[in-house]
Amino acid sequence: MGDETITEMYRARTDALTTDVGEGRPVVFAHGTLMNRSMFAPQLEALKDDYRSVAYDLRARTDRYAQEYDLGDLADDCAALLDGIGEDSAVIAGMSMGGFMALRFALAYPDRVDGLVLIDSMAAPHSAEEREAYGELVEPLEGSHESNPRELAESVTGYLFGETTREENPGLVESWVDRWATYPGAAVYNELHSWLDRPDVTDHLSEIDVPVLIVHGEEDPSIDPSRAEPMLEELPDAEMEIVPEAGHTSNLERPAPVNSTITSFLDERF
């Protein structure tokens, strides 16, 4: 499938691709690796009375997963999605990979971004050691259209969820393991490789002159909060909220405080 066909898929904005609720200023949610748009259900419910909230599935959760792509392609997809929902611009909220994309979207499409919400994400790349470890983890999945081995799905829970969640809410963790075990291997391989070797954009953050909210789980096992903090110094207008007892999927693990933080940010700044 060519990029043009994929772009048209996002412009079409089918119900199979998006969840679109509420009216008002648009907020678009982009998920992280292994997740899908349903991870933002708590945020859409919290915002629907005052904002138009749209969560969408990125390429890996569609039938267009088999083609190689990068974060620039995902940013173009986000622009096509805005076309599809009939919005010139929006607040872009991205979790992890979705945040990597959101930063690049803001740089590539500055007139189409009103603000950013970066959830458990960062501007710097992963270390060489991390890139090697992640690459080895998904190497057996390259080109596979078979479902992921369940043991692999179970092995990554420690990357996505904080210690408190794994101990106190095992049902949430298990429900996502069940989903991960249904994904085609190539979908996960290409998804991870879309960002694995991404360049550092820290030196370009000063160009993002819109309000930015950084939300980060205190127990994030994949991206420690300290790795997100440098963005505060480089972004012209940014604030950060640490979420106690939450890991890499802080908005899903502790939706109440995250919803409160995002709502306050949107109400005060927009």
Q: What pLDDT, in 10s, does the model give residues 147-192? A: 999 999 999 999 999 999 999 999 999 999 999 999 999 999 999 9
- Whole-angstrom distance, CA of residue 113 vs CA of residue 90: 5
CB of 223 closer than 8 Å to CB of 249: no
- Whole-angstrom distance, CA of residue 222 vs CA of residue 198: 16
For strands 18-21 and 51-56, give the pairing. Answer: antiparallel
User: pLDDT category, 6, cuts 50, 70, 90?
Assistant: confident
Residue 3 pLDDT > 50:
yes
- Whole-angstrom distance, CA of residue 241 vs CA of residue 261: 7
pLDDT at 164: 98
Amino acid at 183: Y
- Whole-angstrom distance, CA of residue 129 vs CA of residue 152: 20
CB of 204 closer than 8 Å to CB of 231: no
3-state secondary structure 37-97: HHHHHHHHHHHCCCEEEEEECCHHHCCCCCCCCCHHHHHHHHHHHHHHHCCCCEEEEEECH
- Whole-angstrom distance, CA of residue 140 vs CA of residue 129: 19
- Whole-angstrom distance, CA of residue 119 vs CA of residue 240: 10
- pLDDT, one tens digit per residue, over 181-224 is 999 999 999 999 999 999 999 999 999 999 999 999 999 999 99
pLDDT at 2: 60
Instruction: Dig out the tokens for 28 from the structure.
Output: 């678009």
- pLDDT, one tens digit per residue, over 109-140 is 999 999 999 999 999 999 999 999 999 999 99
- pLDDT, one tens digit per residue, over 36-93 is 999 999 999 999 999 999 999 999 999 999 999 999 999 999 999 999 999 999 999 9
* CATH class for the region spanning 3-124+199-269: alpha beta
Q: What is the pTM of this model?
A: 0.97
Give residue limits of the domains in the chain. Answer: 3-124+199-269
- Whole-angstrom distance, CA of residue 101 vs CA of residue 195: 9
Residue 4 pLDDT > 50:
yes
Residue 14 pLDDT > 90:
no
How far, in whole angstroms, is CA 10 from its chain's centroid? Answer: 16
Going from the C-alpha of 264 to that of each of 6, 32, 257, the distances in angstroms are 35, 23, 11
Residue 5 pLDDT > 90:
no
pLDDT at 1: 46
Q: Nearest CA to 71 among 97, 107, 47, 53?
A: 97
pLDDT at 175: 98
pLDDT at 51: 98
